[in-house]
Chains A and B, each alone.
Chain A
Amino acid sequence: DQQVKQNSPSLSVQEGRISILNCDYTNSMFDYFLWYKKYPAEGPTFLISISSIKDKNEDGRFTVFLNKSAKHLSLHIVPSQPGDSAVYFCAAGEWGTGNQFYFGTGTSLTVIP
């Protein structure tokens, strides 16, 4: 049961350009969404989140967009830097349900210098 899907397993972007990572979900009850970044041999690190009352949240170079009608969210990284190369996981859940989040399978981003 893939409630959260990341259909692109990998993405390569030139340094300085925009990286766009996509995520789709199926459960209309989800109202809280997060992006995590994961480097090899480390645990996921929280990056940015958005609740369903908003359609955009921005933090420095990172912006998350939420399209509730399409059940789709995306993470934009502008400008992309080589240090952004990592696996990015999208996660979604219902707030107030014990913080159980469902993760996507991840997108491996490579930023080429």
Chain B
Amino acid sequence: EPEVTQTPSHQVTQMGQEVILRCVPISNHLYFYWYRQILGQKVEFLVSFYNNEISEKSEIFDDQFSVERPDGSNFTLKIRSTKLEDSAMYFCASSEGTGRSTDTQYFGPGTRLTVL
């Protein structure tokens, strides 16, 4: 069964450094998403991406964040200058993008980002 993959599984970085989290969505999917979950808190939507541009973004997704689909398979989240409060589990998801109400999002296993 096709699945969303994410690398690395765990990233440790110093405050102020740039990080890039990588995701390979399911190959025929057209919508891509990033979510994060701070330890012990709810899963929060960050951004959705369709047709090579941001479709929607939350208040969390400020100028420090950017997303890119650099090639036909990868979908990346870049945090330009990490802060301690960016420490969280980051989940990538993808969906077919058919517009039907059953457009299920499939999540990757997550990348745990630790900012020191």
Contact = CB atoms under 8 A, between A and B. Distances in A.
A100 B48 contact: yes
Contact of A95 (B55, B101, B109): B101
A42 B109 CA distance: 4
Contacts of B4: 43
Interface residues of B, number: 28
A41 interface: yes
Q: Please tell me the size bucket of the interface on A.
A: 20 to 34
Given A42-B109, A43-B107, A105-B41, A100 B56 contact: yes
B25 interface: no
A52 to B, nearest CB: 10
Given A32-B101, A95-B101, A100 B45 contact: yes
Most chain B C-beta atoms within 10 Å of own C-beta, residue among A42, A51, A99, A100: A99
Contacts of A44: 43, 91, 107
A60 interface: no
B33 interface: yes
Given A98-B55, A99-B95, A106 B42 contact: yes
Nearest to A44: B107
A101 B45 contact: yes
Given A41-B110, A96-B99, 15 more contacts: A32-B101, A41-B109, A42-B109, A42-B110, A46-B104, A46-B105, A89-B43, A99-B103, A100-B48, A100-B56, A101-B45, A101-B105, A103-B35, A105-B41, A106-B42
Interface of B: 4, 31, 33, 35, 41-45, 48, 50, 55-56, 58, 91, 93, 95, 99, 101-110
